[in-house]
Chain A
């Protein structure tokens, strides 16, 4: 079980309850602490509150009860600007947006830079590194709209990486993404982790990253499982590549 209130925890949820309508909590009694350097997967069936938990963590929603702490502060505290990177679920690019891959990834640097300051050499280097990390180094000047779905998704991951976040939060980032993109995706997350970064990944498909995970949290309104992937495997669920035990097992979570 997670030990709460740890001083060194990157993210802490304590006794969190949240519902979109009164009397019907999507999340209830959530206690979770994510420690620095961990690679954590958050899984659960549809409607189990995974995305809601992320929204609470990112400060896009406030809990009805309990406490959320990010780097020891309330989420969204200006003191922590740039420490969190976020890859939203199926980010949809408006048809009217005319921008290059580099435009999008550079905008990710604003999380560190703030809205006023001009990018310097170090910022451009961070953008280049993020593009290389997701294998888009050769596509920086292409129009975003010309990229495949998988490449676009990688560009959005690079946007988050460009801010050199201490905590990277990803919501279903590999849904419907091609195999090449999944492999690059795994590589970039592991790379971030080796630099000391913490990763929280919400996904239905853990196949591509299964062997890199430190911890799996299974959610369905409450936390149903929290431990190393091996322990989950011992209960008959395989997270390995090309296995679909997890979705099947999740549907049976009570």
Chain B
């Protein structure tokens, strides 16, 4: 855990102004910035395919993983990563074979995930404090080792998205066309599904599993109002995600609010304001 301690030292040692002068705030900032940038990058391709709720579903599966980890004594992050990656992969395979077209098949996974989590936690002696940290987020108590994992998972998914973004866009527009063009459509879909799982696991301590998909969807919804190009969509989505995290952390420190919820509320506010501004602008153009 050399990387982790290095990051921890670095984070704690930086001479940042209020509200990021304390070590725990710097760790929160580091984890939040990575998640704020990466979740929307993945979300860009989910939202454009009208699969916005996939993140929520995989979040439910990750809960089963967290619970399983708590019961089995495995670090919940690894357990959640294993369960949600396997689940994301399975959902995608079913979808591509036309067996999970309706919401229904996905709903079975989602509720199955939550229910399995609840049952598994019944085996634990007490409803562990740690489980709440994953359900509702606890960004102010992340440890250097967790930040290291978040940074690694975030870097991995951002790199994958940047390499695959053109091909992913082609499959978003038309899977059949992409198949004819010789693109590895099945593999690209699997990569996207697995990236969703990876980013959800990276985000669960930041905003909590209940809100994990919000950072994948809300910044993209804002960017769709503003962007003219795919590049613009990626840049604005990431920018809105990062800003929401920073502003959310500041507000949370200022007024002593729950940080996960505050970050998401900021992202909601940015979307509502952008949509309202857009409506006013287009009205004035017509008038």
Q: Is A198 an interface residue (CB 8 A)?
A: no
Question: Residues of B within 8 Å of A, CB-based: how many?
Answer: 31
Contact A115 B180 (CB under 8 A): no
A60-B179, A98-B233 are contacts. A106–B172 as well, Cβ < 8 Å? Answer: no
Q: Is B223 an interface residue (CB 8 A)?
A: yes
Which residues of chain A are within 8 angstroms of B182 by Cβ–Cβ distance? 76, 78, 80-82, 111, 114
Contact A141 B228 (CB under 8 A): yes
Which of A60, A97, A110 is close to B166, meaning CB atoms less than 8 Å apart? A110
Give the interface SS of chain B, mostly helix, strand, loop or mixed.
helix
A47 and B118 CA atoms in complex are apart in Å by 53
Could you say which of B45-53, B124-132, B192-200 contacts chain A? B45-53
A134 and B178 CA atoms in complex are apart in Å by 21
Contact B229 A91 (CB under 8 A): no
A111-133 residues at the B interface, CB under 8 angstroms: 111, 114-116, 119
Q: What is the minimal beta-carbon distance from A94 to any residue of chain B, in angstroms?
A: 6
Which residues of chain B are within 8 angstroms of A98 by Cβ–Cβ distance? 48, 223-224, 227-230, 232-233
Q: Is B188 an interface residue (CB 8 A)?
A: yes
Q: Is B184 an interface residue (CB 8 A)?
A: yes
A163 and B182 CA atoms in complex are apart in Å by 11
Q: Is A99 an interface residue (CB 8 A)?
A: yes
Chain B residue with Cβ nearest A118:
B166
Q: Is A100 an interface residue (CB 8 A)?
A: yes
A87-111 residues at the B interface, CB under 8 angstroms: 88, 91, 93-94, 96-100, 102-104, 106-108, 110-111
Which residues of chain B are within 8 angstroms of A201 by Cβ–Cβ distance? none
Interface residues on A, range: 35 or more
Contact A97 B173 (CB under 8 A): yes
Which of A60, A103, A141 is close to B176, meaning CB atoms less than 8 Å apart? A60
A88 and B170 CA atoms in complex are apart in Å by 14
Contact A94 B49 (CB under 8 A): yes
Which residues of chain A are within 8 angstroms of B172 by Cβ–Cβ distance? 94, 97
Contact A100 B181 (CB under 8 A): no
Which residues of chain A are within 8 angstroms of B258 by Cβ–Cβ distance? none
Interface residue ranges, A against B (CB under 8 Å): 58-60, 76, 78, 80-82, 84, 86, 88, 91, 93-94, 96-100, 102-104, 106-108, 110-111, 114-116, 119, 141-143, 159, 163
Show 20 A/B contacts (Cβ-Cβ < 8 Å), sorted by A: A76-B179, A80-B182, A86-B180, A86-B181, A94-B49, A94-B172, A94-B173, A96-B47, A96-B48, A98-B227, A98-B229, A100-B230, A103-B169, A110-B167, A111-B180, A114-B182, A115-B164, A115-B166, A119-B166, A163-B181
Closest 6 CB pairs of A and B: A81-B182, A115-B167, A111-B181, A107-B170, A100-B229, A86-B180
Given contacts A97-B173, A98-B230, A99-B233, 16 further A-B contacts (CB under 8 A): A60-B179, A80-B182, A82-B182, A86-B177, A91-B174, A94-B49, A96-B48, A97-B48, A98-B223, A98-B233, A99-B229, A106-B166, A107-B170, A115-B167, A119-B166, A141-B229
